[in-house]
Structure 1
Amino acid sequence: MAELSTTTTTSAERDRIFRRVVLQIVPFITLVYVIAWVDRVNVGFAKLTMLEDLHWSEAVYGAGAGIFFLGYFLFEVPSNLLLEKIGAPKTIMRIALGWGVVSILMAWVSAPWHFYVLRFLQGAFEAGLHPGIIVYLTYWLPTHRRGKAVAICMSASPLALLIGSPIAGYIMKYTDGLLGHADWQWLFVIEGAPSILLGALAYFLLTDRPRNATWLTDDERAHVEHELQAEAAELGGREHSLRGALRLRSTWVLILTLFCIICGNATLSFYGPSLVAAAGFDDLATIGWIMSAVFAFGWLGMIVNGWWSDRRHEARWHTACAAAVGASGLVLVALAQHAGSTVGVIAGLAIAAAGTMGSIPVFWSIPTRFLSGTALAGGVALINSCANLAGYFSPQFLGAMKSASDSYSLGLVIIACVELVAVVLIFTFISKEPTTERTDRTP
C-alpha cells in the first residue's frame, strides 16, 4: 500500500476523499435500486384494474405478490457469495438484466400460474441486490461513514414509490386500450425497460474495490484502504466464516427482527394503493399522487434517521423507535378506516411509512458489528433473504383477512403488533456495544 501523504491526515481532507467516493458510487447504485423497487411493487397499481380484467380474486393477487419473496429467499445467499467471487459490477449487471426482462413479460400473464412463475423469477433475479449493495458499501466506507450512504441507497424504496406512484397512475390513465393493450400491460412494459439499460451500464460505471479506482489518486486510494483496515483492527474478533455466522445467536435474532419490520413495509408497498382506494378515491392519478406524498414521508424517515444515527453513533434506539412509530401508523390506518376517516387513513400511512422505512437503513449498521468477509457477504444475504419471507406471508395474510371480513382493519392491527415484536427483540437481545459473541472454528 502506498505511503499516506501528510496532506491526507486532516479531518477535512479525509471527509473530502470519502465525499468523492460517495458521489462516485452511491448515485448510480441508488438509481439501480430505485428501478428495482419500481418493478417490484408496480404490481400494486396494476392490481387496481388487472384483477377485474383477468377475473382474479384478492387471494390470487396476494399469493402472486408474495411469491416474489420465495425466489428472493432461495437465491439471495448464492447471489451474494457469487458477488464475493466475480465482483459487484458483473453481479449488478446480471441482476438488472434478468429482472428487467421478467418485468416486461408480466404484461402477458393470463392465468394465475403465469403470474406466480414470473413473480418467482423476478424475485430470483433481484435476489442479492439489496445485500449486495450493503456489502459493496463495506468495501468503500467504514461504519461511521456508512450510515448516511446506506440510508441514501435504501431510500430508493420510498423514492421509487414517491416518483413511481404518480407515474404509474398516469401511465395507466392514458395508455388503456393503446394498440389493443390494457393499462396494466403498458405499465409493466414501460417500467421494465429501464432496468435492461441500467444493467448494461453497471458493468462500465461501477468500480469493484478502492484498489481498482482509477478515479482516485494513489494517496486517496491508500487513505481509503488505511481507514478500512484501521476499523477492521479496532473491531477485532468478528466472525469471518459463513458457517460460524450461522451459529451466532445474533444472526437469528436479526433475521426475526427484520422479518417483523418487513411485515409492515410489505403491507405499505403492496396494499398502499388499495388502502387509499378503500378510503374513497377512485381516480388512478389521484391515488398515485397520494401514495407519492405517503412515500415522501418514508424517504424523509430514512434520510433523517440515517443522518441522526451517524451523528450519534447509535443504531439500536434509532432502529427500534422508528419501528415503533411505523407500527403506530398502521394502527392509526386501521382505526381511521373503521371510523371512515379519509384524512386519518392518509395520515396513518404517512406515519407508518416514515417509521417503518426509516428503521431499515439504520438496522443494517448492526450486522457489521460482528460479521466480516465471507460471513458478512453470506450473513447479510441470509438475514435479508429469510427476513424478506415476511413479504411472502404479509400480502397473503392481508388479502385473506380482507376476503374474510371485507375490511383491512383487523389485518393491519395484527401486522402492527408483529412489527412491535421487532422493538422488543432489539432491546432484549441486541447489545449496546459491538458483540464479543464468537463461535469455535478452525482458521
Structure 2
Amino acid sequence: MQTQALSSQPLASAVRKARLRLTPFLALMFALSMLDRSNVGFVKQALQVDSNIGNAAFALGAGIFFIGYAVFEIPSNMMLHRVGAKLWLSRIMVTWGIASAAMMFAHNETAFYVLRFILGVAEAGFSPGVILYSTYWFPARERGKALGIYYFGVPVALVLGSPLSGYLMEVMGGLLGLRNWQWMFLIEGLAASVVGVIAFFYLVSKPRHAKWLTDAEKDALESAIAAEDRHKVAHGPTTALAALGNWNVLRFVAIYFAIQVSVYGVIFYLPTRISELTGTAIGAKVGFLTAIPWFCALVALRFVTGYADARGKHREVAVLMLVMAAAGIGFSTMGTHLVPVLFAFCVATIGFVVVQPLFWTLPTAYLSGTAAASGIALIGALGNLGGFIAPTLKTAVETLFQSQRAGMGALAVAGVIGVLLLLSIGMRGRRQEAGQLAASKTASR
C-alpha cells in the first residue's frame, strides 16, 4: 500500500510542477506581506520620538491592523472563490503596498491608528486566500510541504527584511527632507505593489488554465482534488453558514488565535529586546541579529513539514512545534545576556513559524467549496485577532505586574492553551486526515 507518494505519474508530475511554479512566488508575496505588517517594530523608537506616541498607543496601533483585517477577511475570501486567485491576490497586494507606503504620514497617534487600520483592510484575505488557493492545486498529502514553502515567506521576510529595515533606518534619515522611518515605509510598501502587478500576469487560478500542465496532468490533478472534495462533503460542512457555525471550525479559530498571540507578541518586540541587550540603537547590527531566529526557522520549515507529510503526522508535529514556541518565549525572559536569550528566541521562532503550515493542513482537510472559502476566512479573521491582542496583552500584563517577564510569560501561556486545544482534536482529527489521504490515493490510481 502506497500512502506516502503519489502513485499516478501524471498526478505526481502535476503536483511537482505546481510546487515549483507557484509556491516560491507565493512565498515572495507572503514575505512582503509579513515585512509590511511587522516593520512597525523597527520604527518603534524613532516613531515614538517623532510622533509623540506612547507605549500603550503604539501597542494599540500595532494591533489595530488586525481589526481591519478581520472585518473584511470573509468577504475577501468569498470574492477570491468567485473571481479567481489571479485577479484577487494581485489586487490585494497592490492596495496593501500603497497603504503600507502611506504609513510614512503617521505623524500622530490618530494618523497611526487610521493608517494601520487601512493597512489591515487592504491586506484582508491574503493569507487565507492563499490557503484556499492551495486546496485547488495540492492534494492533502502534499499540502503540508506546499504550505511549508509558502511559509518560507515568514522567515525570509525577517532574515532579509530585518537587515534591510535596519539599514534603511540607519542611512536614509534626512534624504529629501524625510525621516528614516518614512523612507522605510515608502520603499518596502511600493515593493509590494510592484510584485502585485507581476502576480496578475504570473499566477494561474485553476489547474485547467495552466498552460504549463499537459492535459493528462490537468485531468489527474483535478480528479484527485475532486475525490478529496467528495470526502469533505460527506464528513464536514458544505455551505458557508454551516462552516461558520461548525464546532470544529470554531476550535480551529481558537487554536489559530493562540498561535497568532505567540507570533506577533515576539515579532513586534524582538528588535527592541535585541536593542536593549546589545545596548545599541536599532540599526544594521540589530537587524542582522534579529534575522538569526528567522534563519533557523527557514532551515527547519522544509525538513519538518516534509517529515509530517511523509508520516501523515501533521497534528502531532504541530503540537511539538507549539510546545517549542511556548517554551522558547518563556525562556527568553529569563536571561540578561544576548546569546542565551537569542537562542531562546530561535527555539520560539522555529516553533511558531513551522506550526502554521502544519496547522492549516487540518482545516483544509475538513472543508471544501464555499464552506472552505468562508471557514478558512473565519479562522484567519478571528484567529488573526491574536495579533491585535498580543501587544495590548503584553503591555497590560507588564503594567499590572511591573515586569517585562510577566508580559512575555502571558504570550507563552497563550501557546500552552493552543497546545491543549490541538491535543483536543484527538482521534477524530487523525481519522479525518487518514480519510483525506485515502481519497487522494484512490483518485491517483
Tell me the TM-score range normalised by the shorter chain. Answer: over 0.9
Alignment partner of 1:102 is 2:99: yes
Please state whether the residue corresponding to 1:335 is helix, strand or coil: coil
Q: Please, which of 203, 215, 219 is the counterpart of residue 222 of structure 1?
A: 219
**RMSD value over aligned CA atoms?**
1.7
Q: Distance in 1 between matches of 2:419 and 2:102?
A: 40
Q: TM-score, normalised by structure 2?
A: 0.92
Instruction: Tell me the percent identity.
Output: 32
Q: Please, which of 179, 183, 188 is the counterpart of residue 182 of structure 1?
A: 179
Match of 1:26 in 2: 23
Q: Please, which of 350, 366, 375 is the counterpart of residue 379 of structure 1?
A: 375
What 5-or-longer segments of structure 1 have no aligned partner?
A: 1-8, 437-443
Match of 2:154 in 1: 157
Task: Decide whether aligned partners of structure 1 residues 274 and 120 sit closer, same or farther in structure 2, where only a CA change above 3 A counts.
Answer: same
Q: Distance in 2 between matches of 1:11 and 1:222?
A: 11
Q: Please, which of 189, 193, 197 is the counterpart of residue 192 of structure 1?
A: 189
Alignment partner of 1:120 is 2:117: yes
Q: Distance in 1 between matches of 2:100 and 2:83?
A: 25
Instruction: Give runs of aligned pairs for residues 38-53 of structure 1, distance below 5 A.
Output: 38-53=35-50
Match of 2:268 in 1: 270
Q: Distance in 2 between matches of 1:107 and 1:307?
A: 40
Task: Decide whether aligned partners of structure 1 residues 123 and 23 sit closer, same or farther in structure 2, where only a CA change above 3 A counts.
Answer: same
Alignment partner of 1:247 is 2:245: yes
Instruction: Give runs of aligned pairs for residues 284-323 of structure 1, distance below 5 A.
Output: 284-323=283-322
- Which amino acid in 2 is paired with 1:433? R
Conserved 8 A contact 1:305-1:362: no
Deviation at 1:302, TM superposition (A): 2.8
Count of equivalent residues: 425
Q: Please, which of 373, 377, 392 is the counterpart of residue 396 of structure 1?
A: 392
Q: Distance in 2 between matches of 1:113 and 1:305?
A: 43
Q: Distance in 2 between matches of 1:392 and 1:301?
A: 27
Deviation at 1:435, TM superposition (A): 8.1
Q: Distance in 1 between matches of 2:61 and 2:344?
A: 26
Q: Distance in 1 between matches of 2:157 and 2:418?
A: 25
Deviation at 1:108, TM superposition (A): 1.5
Deviation at 1:401, TM superposition (A): 4.0
- Which amino acid in 1 is paired with 2:179? A
Q: Distance in 1 between matches of 2:99 and 2:399?
A: 29
Conserved 8 A contact 1:301-1:355: no
Q: Distance in 1 between matches of 2:229 and 2:173?
A: 55
Conserved 8 A contact 1:62-1:396: yes
Please state whether the residue corresponding to 2:88 is helix, strand or coil: helix
Please state whether the residue corresponding to 2:332 is helix, strand or coil: helix
Deviations 1:143-168 (A, max 9, x none): 11111110111221121011100011
After alignment, is 273-282 or 374-383 more displaced?
273-282
What 5-or-longer segments of structure 2 have no aligned partner?
A: 1-5, 435-445
Instruction: Give runs of aligned pairs for residues 123-162 of structure 1, distance below 5 A.
Output: 123-162=120-159
Match of 1:63 in 2: 60
Deviation at 1:375, TM superposition (A): 0.5
Task: Decide whether aligned partners of structure 1 residues 346 and 127 sit closer, same or farther in structure 2, where only a CA change above 3 A counts.
Answer: same
Deviation at 1:215, TM superposition (A): 1.8
Match of 1:440 in 2: none
Conserved 8 A contact 2:50-2:107: no
Deviation at 1:407, TM superposition (A): 4.1
Task: Decide whether aligned partners of structure 1 residues 405 and 110 sit closer, same or farther in structure 2, where only a CA change above 3 A counts.
Answer: farther
Deviations 1:345-378 (A, max 9, x none): 1111111101111111100000123211101111
Conserved 8 A contact 2:362-2:433: no
Alignment partner of 1:347 is 2:346: no
Match of 2:441 in 1: none
Q: Distance in 1 between matches of 2:220 and 2:128?
A: 26
Q: Distance in 2 between matches of 1:181 and 1:28?
A: 32
Conserved 8 A contact 1:238-1:369: no
Deviation at 1:281, TM superposition (A): 3.6
Please state whether the residue corresponding to 2:299 is helix, strand or coil: helix
Deviations 1:87-121 (A, max 9, x none): 00111121111111111111121111101111011
Please state whether the residue corresponding to 2:189 is helix, strand or coil: helix
Q: Distance in 1 between matches of 2:401 and 2:167?
A: 32
Conserved 8 A contact 2:262-2:412: yes
Conserved 8 A contact 2:52-2:108: no
Deviation at 1:14, TM superposition (A): 3.5
Match of 2:360 in 1: 364
Q: Distance in 2 between matches of 1:429 and 1:210?
A: 32
Match of 1:424 in 2: 420
Q: Distance in 2 between matches of 1:87 and 1:232?
A: 18
After alignment, is 10-19 or 163-172 more displaced?
10-19
Deviations 1:310-363 (A, max 9, x none): 011122111111001100001111111xxx222221111111101111111100
Deviation at 1:394, TM superposition (A): 0.7
Deviations 1:22-73 (A, max 9, x none): 1121122211111111111111101131111222211111011000000011
- Which amino acid in 2 is paired with 1:241? T
Please state whether the residue corresponding to 1:433 is helix, strand or coil: helix
Conserved 8 A contact 1:148-1:310: yes
Q: TM-score, normalised by structure 1?
A: 0.92
